[in-house]
Amino acid sequence: MQAYLLEFVNFMLRWLHVIAAIAWIGESIYFVMLDNGLKKPKAAEDREKGVFGEMWAVHGGGFYHNQKYATAPAKLPDDLHWSFWKSYTTWLSGFALFVLLYMANPSFYLVNPNANWEWAANMTGWQANVLALLFLVGGWVVYNELCKRISPNMTRDGLLSIAVAVMMVLVAYLSTQMFSGRAAFLLTGAVMATAMSANVFFWIIPGQRRMVNAMKAGETPNPLDGKRGKQRSVHNTYFTLPVVLLMISNHYSFAYNHEHAWVIMSLFIFGGALIRQFFVLMHAGKIQPAYPAAGTALILVAFWVAMPSSQPATAVVDGEATSFEEVHALVDQHCVACHSSEPTQPGFAAPPAGVAYDTEDQILRQKSQIQQVVASKYMPLGNMTGMTDEEREAIAAWSE
């Protein structure tokens, strides 16, 4: 019952998380489009009012006329629309999912028993939980310090972008050395997503509040508040595509269980950011196909790096292929406690990822997937059932 309850809550939280993220990222993409697509106002009276740009749009059977003021309108309306709950809801629901799934089962999901760093391979569940939290907080602290130290007055934003890019490669590298591959992809995405939400919470919204308060008091707002909000928003724009990719990566073990998973992850991050750049420029009327071409090229390099080896196992070449009976016995011994329509492993209410090996037919049909997850050591999860390297070789050498 408890396992079922957790699974149900997980399902509902995931729903909330995806909906909130669609609303937040959708709005963010919309405002970048709006900002970049503004035209000079046509009417002289608008220009006199201080309107700096406008956009006419038709949507859902109505006509919309957006106007942006160079500084602020002469009088602020009382019912200003603010955007922050979409961001906070996305972060909070995402964090709750992380706690429910990863932190509730750290030895399954966070610890990588095959990690290169011995201390990481031997972490207890609690240590892994604390390390994961430190990783998230540390990511924000480092990113925020980079922004504050490198470009405090928004005059060195180019250099700052390079520093943030280098930081992300480091985050990708460290996460894959310390955590299981699946958690590493998620945590790297979460470092970016946390920076995005924290940018809204600590900088963008407080800056906007100071600007509004200054205007209400009849003072000139500090222009740095506006510029800083813009700087952090621009970072958020380039984080969106990579974050979404990393958040949906959990079923693609070919990417995150690769020995060079951090390289694959970095290629995806830069590929996504380059593709985003194309759209940012496109909304400003500049079509520059070099960006998506470069982004696609990086993703193709990732495809090439992650490609599974097509070499047949040595045992197959030597004519010592494993029979189906032997494979069946290994699957029974090492997989079926979890992968069954009625799992016996505590904590599992249903076959994980919908994968069950109760019948011969089920095993035969999923041969290549079984070989892939066993060879990459993704399965058995956390090597709970103690599969040896010889047994992995035997599954690789299953050739019928």
Residues that bind ligand HEC (CB under 6 A): 250-251, 253, 334-335, 337-339, 345, 352-353, 355, 369-370, 373-374, 379-381, 384-385, 387
CA separation for the pair 328, 312 (Å, rounded)? 20
- DSSP state string for 306-346: HPPP-PPPHHHHTT-PBPHHHHHHHHHHHTTTTSSSS--ST
CA separation for the pair 139, 191 (Å, rounded)? 6
Instruction: Pick the closer one to ligand HEC by CB: 199 or 376.
Output: 376
For residue 352, the minimal CB distance to ligand HEC (Å) is 3
CA separation for the pair 140, 24 (Å, rounded)? 20
CA separation for the pair 290, 256 (Å, rounded)? 28
For residue 398, the minimal CB distance to ligand HEC (Å) is 11
- State yes or no: cis peptide before 308, omega within 30 of 0: no
CA separation for the pair 256, 226 (Å, rounded)? 39
For residue 234, the minimal CB distance to ligand HEC (Å) is 33
Instruction: Pick the closer one to ligand HEC by CB: 62 or 346.
Output: 346
- What's the start-to-end Cα distance of the chain, in Å? 40
Phi and psi, residue 77, nearest 5°: -70, 155
For residue 383, the minimal CB distance to ligand HEC (Å) is 8
Name the nearest CA neighbour of 347 among 185, 122, 107: 107
Instruction: Pick the closer one to ligand HEC by CB: 132 or 396.
Output: 396
How many CA atoms does the CB half-sphere of 384 hold within 13 Å? 17
CA separation for the pair 71, 50 (Å, rounded)? 8
Angle between helices 261-283 and 223-247 in degrees, nearest 10? 130
Contact between 382 and 259 (Cβ < 8 Å): no
For residue 251, the minimal CB distance to ligand HEC (Å) is 4
Q: Which two tokens stand for residue 81?
A: 């629309």
Instruction: Pick the closer one to ligand HEC by CB: 36 or 383.
Output: 383
Instruction: Pick the closer one to ligand HEC by CB: 246 or 274.
Output: 246
For residue 48, the minimal CB distance to ligand HEC (Å) is 59
Instruction: Pick the closer one to ligand HEC by CB: 248 or 290.
Output: 248
Name the nearest CA neighbour of 86 among 192, 207, 232, 200: 200
Tell me the C-alpha to C-alpha distance, in Å, between residue 150 and each of 113, 160, 161, 282, 329.
38, 6, 10, 29, 59
Phi and psi, residue 336, nearest 5°: -70, -20
CA separation for the pair 332, 336 (Å, rounded)? 5
Can you give the C-alpha Rg of the chain in angstroms? 25
* Residue whose C-beta lies closest to ligand HEC: 335
